[in-house]
Structure 1
Amino acid sequence: MVCETDDITFETKVNNSLKEGWQLYGNPFSNYDPESQRFYCFQAMIKETK
């Protein structure tokens, strides 16, 4: 699961995971945290093991 604030950092983490052989699993989703007043994005990812 990739979790990060809704900015370029999230996109970078997902892209780096894809380059390392991880695959997207399902749709991304986001949630607003009223305490920090920020949106957070989440993306489930899977990777086959040998």
Structure 2
Amino acid sequence: MRAYRLLTEVDTAAFCHKVTEALDKGWELYGSPAYAHDPVTGQMRCAQAVVKDVEGAYAPDVKLGDL
């Protein structure tokens, strides 16, 4: 199966670490990153989609962060 995740975080080093950790675990970047203002918190937020090919079939209870 091909797994998909959308990583999001406030625009700090934590976002870069989150993406780097996913890449280290075998996830691949999918598309371009996004950057937007959150009007509720007043902060800028980042998003990056990642994908990974894994064994097995999809199930709704799969923990994508554990793949």
TM-score category (smaller protein): over 0.9
CA distance in 1, matches of 2:32, 2:46: 11
Instruction: Give percent identity, aligned residues only.
Output: 36
Deviations 1:4-30 (A, max 9, x none): 001100000000000000000000001
Normalising by the residue count of structure 1, what TM-score does the alignment of the two structures yield?
Answer: 0.94
Please say which structure displays the higher CA radius of gyration: 2
Tell me which stretches of 4 or more aligned residues in structure 1 moved more than 6 Å.
none
CA distance in 1, matches of 2:39, 2:48: 20
Q: Residue 11 of structure 1: which of 9, 16, 21 is its match? A: 16
Q: Counterpart of 1:35 in structure 2: which amino acid?
A: V
Structure with a larger share of its residues in strand: 2
Normalising by the residue count of structure 2, what TM-score does the alignment of the two structures yield?
Answer: 0.72
- Any unmatched runs of 5+ in structure 2? 1-5, 56-67
CA distance in 2, matches of 1:26, 1:33: 21
Q: Counterpart of 1:17 in structure 2: which amino acid?
A: A
